[in-house]
């Protein structure tokens, strides 16, 4: 029964790892996989009678010559052991490894060895105990069960191999060589129609000498059957899936350490700036393409979908069907066993109760349904859709089949209940990073920082970020200085953007974060607290999200990790000392004004501001409040929030480029981060790293 519960947890929890950051989901799935082996060992240990049990049981008074360690306590324990082994390594397609590094570690090999060892024990016990007809039937079904289980291990190994190194199956080495000359295959290109973009979609078909790759322009531009219906939103969605699939392979190539030669080409930049982000109406679609791409990336490294797609789909379906049939057979066998006491497995079976049979049948029903669910989930997945589209594009007989056309149109329909990720962003405010409540202190024992509740990622935030990327000239990024120049505040505020060895980018982020928080408190405490301008929501949510990245995902950001952590610790201590015990926004606002009352000493130049800041205090909190008062002095509040929204959008885009590919992929298994979406979008636009100095 526990194993059946484990199966339900895997079926529900494993796919949700990509959609949420819940600790319950993450540790629940890890706990199930961690406890599977101990539970299997425990079940195997229960199968045999101890000396005391054998001596006390009158059924064995006449069997003293038989080795007691070979006496089987309950024949159904063998079925339970098989079920647990299938649970651990037959597993779910929704998860193949917990962490990225497990694809190539010794742990995987040890797990496979132990699984084979345990299954050998089960087979040995059945082979020893099967004496009559029913026992031999059980043995045959066990062999079939073990065969199908072994094929699942093979899929597990294939999935790990695909995700651990470039192989002939995943075609990454071939792709790296191909992309060096892809731009030579076509001199003209159109990023709106994908004309001239010969990015491979199905790479594994291109690895053999007798195959040619199915490319983007073939699917998009060759007017093949139903794919020529450019006005159909369903067909457009399938084409976008193929685009996402082609782009995800480029990220995998970078993960394996290969260069990105196309990043220097105008063609790549045009794909993003003139294709995905041509107009504001395209921004939502652009992020949908990236979301699907990251979903493929997650599946490639953490599930078995890639192994199934690159392998034999028919073979996988056959094994799943075989498991279902065997489960039905074993269930029937278990019911037969329940009518007998000691004759089913000769003299070695002690007793099988009705409760044992109920538990066994329940577990087998769960496994049967689970197998059917896995088959359905794969054929409803985006992997299956891409495979179907590519097969359709290369198979003339399919193009004449009206039923297949209807299937493609059906698969292209969007499903509101299916989402690629949680579509929320984390929030952290240094001015709210402390609490006196016992509950909050208890939670902080399990997480290093006190974070706020995630907020929905509004379309206005996406548009602000997309505009920054769209307006990046030749890939040059700004750390917010460009926003200050556009709003005519460069002379007064640019001192907070200028970084050096002492005042790092992390310092700048936190100073602007405090300033934004100060302006938010001032607005809430003022007479216009309900005046919620859209830019205010964009500015505050992005400010708290970038601060959240500093607090909870610092490895994705520039700078040394230890410096970022120490800087944030210092700022938290300063904020707690200043604002501890103050609850209302008005109290906090007045306290900040009281401690840093510089209204009459607002500096008018960079030199004055720098000198005044150093003279007043070296603390980041005081610098942030001083910057906040400079922003407060702006007469037009709408322009102030527009400036802050533009600043934070620029800052988020500026910090997004990174060489930490593994770090971004790891976070996909924990719900993902919005900065990863920006990172991928910039990579496809040819921006692989942030500039050494910010571009004003």
Q: 3-state SS of 120-164?
A: HHHHHHHHHHCCCHHHHHHHHHHHHHHHHHHHHHHHHHHHHHHHH
What distance in Å separates the CA atoms of residue 655 and residue 636, rounded to the nearest whole number?
29
The token pair at 602 is 């607002």
Helices (H) and strands (E) in the chain, counts: 30, 2
What distance in Å separates the CA atoms of residue 124 and residue 238, rounded to the nearest whole number?
50
What pLDDT is stored for residue 111 in this prediction?
A: 66
Other CB atoms within 10 A of residue 209 CB: 5
* 258: CB partners within 8 A, 6+ apart: 166, 172, 173, 176
Check: CB of residue 420 under 8 Å from CB of residue 18. Answer: yes
What pLDDT is stored for residue 116 in this prediction?
A: 67
Those residues of the chain that have pLDDT short of 70 are 1-27, 29, 32-34, 36-37, 39-99, 101-109, 111-116, 118-152, 204-211, 312-353, 416-418, 435-448, 527-532, 595-618, 691-696
Between the alpha carbon of residue 146 and those of residues 70, 73, 103, 320, 326, the distances in Å are 22, 22, 24, 12, 10
Other CB atoms within 10 A of residue 109 CB: 12
Which among 87, 92, 79 has a CA at the least distance from the CA of 138?
A: 79
Check: CB of residue 293 under 8 Å from CB of residue 244. Answer: yes
The token pair at 316 is 């996988």
Domain boundaries of the chain, sorted by first residue: 2-164+311-378, 172-308, 424-684
Other CB atoms within 10 A of residue 574 CB: 18
What pLDDT is stored for residue 420 in this prediction?
A: 82
What distance in Å separates the CA atoms of residue 86 and residue 324, rounded to the nearest whole number?
12
What distance in Å separates the CA atoms of residue 86 and residue 43, rounded to the nearest whole number?
14
Q: How far is CA 93 from the centre of its chain?
A: 15
Check: CB of residue 59 under 8 Å from CB of residue 40. Answer: no
Other CB atoms within 10 A of residue 587 CB: 14
What distance in Å separates the CA atoms of residue 149 and residue 157, rounded to the nearest whole number?
13
Buried/exposed code over 401-416 (b: 16+ C-beta within 10 A; e: otherwise): eeebbebbeebbeeee
What pLDDT is stored for residue 499 in this prediction?
A: 87
Q: How far is CA 269 from the centre of its chain?
A: 26
What pLDDT is stored for residue 348 in this prediction?
A: 47
What pLDDT is stored for residue 342 in this prediction?
A: 43
User: Secondary structure of the chain: what % helix, strand, coil (to 5)?
Assistant: 70, 0, 30
3 state SS for 82-113? HHHHHHHHHCCCCCCCCCHHHHHCHHHHHHHH
Check: CB of residue 511 under 8 Å from CB of residue 496. Answer: yes
What distance in Å separates the CA atoms of residue 640 and residue 657, rounded to the nearest whole number?
27
Give pTM, 2 decimals.
0.85
The dihedral through the CA atoms of 509, 512, 518, 524 has a sign that is negative
The token pair at 676 is 């990863």
Burial of 369 (0-12, 13-18, 19+ CB in 10 A): middle
Between the alpha carbon of residue 261 and those of residues 183, 224, 258, 267, 269, the distances in Å are 10, 31, 9, 11, 12
Of the chain, the end-to-end C-alpha distance in Å amounts to 64
User: Residue 455's beta-bridge partner residues?
Assistant: 425
């Amino acid at each position: 029964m526990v194993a059946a519960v484990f199966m339900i947890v895997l079926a529900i929890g494993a796919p949700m790892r990509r959609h949420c950051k819940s600790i319950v989901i993450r540790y629940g799935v890890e706990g199930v996989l961690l406890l599977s082996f101990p539970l299997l060992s425990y079940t195997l240990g229960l199968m045999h009678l101890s000396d005391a049990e054998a001596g006390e049981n009158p059924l064995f008074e006449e069997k003293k010559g038989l080795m007691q360690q070979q006496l089987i306590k309950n024949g159904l324990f063998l079925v339970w052991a098989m079920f647990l082994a299938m649970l651990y390594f037959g597993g779910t397609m929704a998860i193949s490894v917990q962490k990225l590094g497990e694809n190539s570690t010794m742990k995987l090999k040890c797990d496979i060895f132990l699984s084979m060892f345990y299954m050998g024990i089960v087979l040995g016990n059945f082979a020893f105990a099967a004496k009559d007809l029913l026992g031999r039937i059980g043995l045959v079904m066990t062999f079939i069960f073990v065969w199908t289980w072994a094929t699942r291990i093979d899929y597990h190994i294939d999935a790990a191999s695909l995700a651990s190194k470039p192989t002939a199956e995943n075609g990454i080495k071939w792709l790296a060589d191909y992309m060096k000359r892809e731009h030579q295959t076509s001199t003209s290109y159109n990023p709106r129609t994908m004309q001239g973009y010969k990015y491979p979609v199905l790479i594994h078909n291109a690895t053999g000498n007798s195959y040619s790759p199915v490319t983007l322009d073939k699917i998009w531009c060759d007017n093949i059957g139903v794919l020529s219906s450019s006005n159909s939103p369903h067909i457009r969605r399938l084409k976008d899936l193929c685009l996402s699939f082609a782009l995800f392979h480029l990220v995998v190539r970078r993960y394996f350490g290969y260069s990105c030669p196309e990043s220097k080409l105008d063609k790549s930049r045009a794909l993003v700036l003139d294709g995905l982000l041509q107009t504001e109406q395209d921004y939502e679609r652009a992020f949908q393409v990236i979301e699907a791409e990251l979903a493929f990336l997650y599946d490639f490294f953490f599930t078995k979908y890639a192994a199934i797609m690159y392998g034999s789909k028919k073979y996988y379906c056959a094994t799943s069907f075989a498991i279902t049939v065997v489960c039905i057979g074993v269930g029937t066998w278990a019911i037969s066993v329940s009518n007998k006491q000691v004759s089913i497995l000769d003299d070695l079976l002690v007793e099988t109760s009705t409760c044992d049979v109920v538990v066994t049948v329940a577990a087998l029903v769960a496994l049967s349904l689970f197998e059917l669910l896995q088959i359905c989930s794969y054929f409803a997945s985006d992997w299956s859709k891409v495979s179907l589209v590519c097969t359709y594009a290369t198979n003339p007989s399919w193009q004449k089949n009206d039923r297949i056309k209807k299937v493609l149109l059906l698969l292209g329909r969007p499903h509101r209940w299916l989402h690629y990720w949680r579509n929320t962003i984390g929030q952290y405010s240094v001015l709210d990073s402390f609490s006196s409540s016992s509950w909050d202190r208890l939670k902080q024992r399990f997480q290093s920082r006190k974070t706020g509740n995630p907020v929905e990622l509004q379309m206005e935030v996406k548009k602000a970020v997309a505009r920054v990327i769209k307006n990046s000239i030749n890939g040059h990024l700004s750390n917010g200085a460009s926003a200050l120049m556009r709003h005519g505040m460069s002379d007064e505020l640019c001192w907070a953007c200028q970084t050096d060895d002492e005042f790092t980018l992390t310092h700048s982020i936190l100073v602007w974060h405090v300033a934004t928080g100060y302006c938010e408190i001032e607005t809430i405490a003022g007479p216009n607290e309900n005046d919620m301008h859209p830019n205010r929501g964009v500015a505050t949510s992005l400010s708290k999200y970038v601060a959240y990245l500093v607090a909870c995902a610092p490895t994705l950001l520039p700078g040394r990790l230890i410096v970022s952590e120490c800087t944030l610790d210092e700022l938290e201590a300063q904020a707690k000392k200043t604002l501890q015990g103050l609850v209302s926004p008005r109290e906090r606002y007045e306290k900040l004004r009281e401690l840093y009352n510089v209204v009459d000493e607002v500096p008018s130049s960079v030199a004055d501001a720098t000198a005044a800041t150093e003279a007043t205090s070296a603390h980041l909190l005081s610098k942030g409040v001083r910057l906040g008062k400079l922003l407060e002095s702006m007469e037009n509040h709408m322009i102030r929030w527009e400036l802050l929204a533009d600043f934070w959008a620029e800052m988020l885009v500026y910090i997004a480029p990174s060489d930490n590919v593994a770090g971004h992929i790891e976070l996909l298994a924990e719900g993902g981060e919005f900065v990863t979406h920006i990172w991928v979008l910039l990579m496809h636009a040819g921006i692989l790293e942030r500039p050494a100095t910010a571009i004003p």
